[in-house]
Amino acid sequence: MIDARAGDAWRPVERVRAYQHVVDQVEEQILAGALKVGDRLPGERELSARLQVSRAAVREAMRTLEAQGVVRAGVGSGPDAGTVVSAMPSEALTRLLRVHVALANFPVGDVIEARITLERSSAALAAANATRAAMSAIAAPLAAMEALEGGVDEDRRSYNDLDTTFHIAIAEAGGNRLVADMTIAIREAMRQPILASLERLGDDWPAVRRRLSEEHRGVYEAIAAGDGAAAADLVEAHIRSAHARLDGDR
């Protein structure tokens, strides 16, 4: 009997699907500099002719690239038409994380801890690097949240959106694109679950809202003061206490 293990040198023929070849070739072209962000790649019909595959294969490749945020497809004619190379890692990362959070592939506790790790870093970076414009971008949602104080009670959705904007602005202010994009992806992925928690709060909402805004203000001022360590600690405390209040009494 032939020992299969003796045939380690014999690996099964790699069966690469046609659309994967297309994906690879497009990536190669981008790598080689032949395609830059903003460029339109050949039409699907022309690509299928050049690569000697069916248009269906080309289209499946486009769906893969689109899911990864590498290209964007637009119909019609004009500048927005055609399939265009466009770097949208943030959106792709967000979609990816959102679906896996929704599918519960990541324990919620792990997501929160990861968020703390990233936002601590973001806050510290923001304290060190934030420009005036970036500080304004952080201050705007902060002021809007504070303006909700004393207003109607049913502003949970608005507050959640503003909170998302606030945290994203801090991440952007840090100046690290990857850290920012991962931070954004996590916060966006949590947008729905957090809103659901807010809805469950009932009458406690005004008190919680007040507390959250105070914490936001503290984070903002630490960043404005350039105190990275304090900003990091305050962000961590903010996220922890928020989740404790939202999920603790579930």
Partner DNA sequence: CGCGCCATGTGGTCTGACCACATCGAGGTC
Partner DNA sequence: GACCTCGATGTGGTCAGACCACATGGCGCG
Applying CB under 8 A, the residues found at the interface with its own copies are 19, 27, 30-31, 37, 56, 59-61, 63-64, 66-70, 87, 89, 92-93, 95-96, 99-100, 102-103, 105-107, 110-111, 113-114, 117-118, 121, 176-179, 181-182, 186
Axis-axis angle for helices 89-102, 177-189 (nearest 10): 40
Q: Strand pairing partners for 74?
A: 82
Which residue, 46 or 113, has its beta carbon nearer to DNA?
46
Give the shortest CB-8-to-its own copies separation in angstroms.
Answer: 17
Residue with Cβ nearer DNA (62 or 184): 62
Q: Residue 110's binding partner, choosing from DNA, its own copies, none, with beta-carbon cut-off 5 to 8 A by kind? A: its own copies
CB 137 within 8 A of CB 169: yes
Q: 159: closest CA among 115, 205, 222, 202?
A: 205
As given in the structure block, the two tokens for residue 72 are 């964007």
Q: Which residues bind DNA (CB under 7 A)?
A: 15, 17-19, 41, 43-46, 48, 52-57, 59-60, 62, 73-83
Contact between residue 201 and residue 209 where contact means Cβ atoms under 8 Å apart: no
According to DSSP, the residues that pair with 85 across neighbouring strands are 71
User: Please, which residue, 52 or 248, has the CB nearer to DNA?
Assistant: 52
CB of 84 to its own copies, least distance (A): 14
| Least CB distance to its own copies at residue 25 (A) | 13
Smallest distance, Å, CB 31 to DNA?
A: 20
CB of 226 to its own copies, least distance (A): 18
Residue 173 tokens, joined: 């202010």
The identity of residue 2, as a single letter, is I
Q: Would strands 71-74 and 82-85 be described as parallel, antiparallel, or unpaired?
A: antiparallel
125 versus 142: smaller Cβ distance to its own copies: 125
188 touches which of its own copies, DNA, none (CB within 5 to 8 A by kind)?
none
* Amino acid type, 94: T
Q: How many residues are present in the chain?
A: 250
**Beta-carbon neighbour count of residue 93 at 10 Å?**
20
Q: Which is nearer to DNA, 45 or 157 (CB)?
A: 45
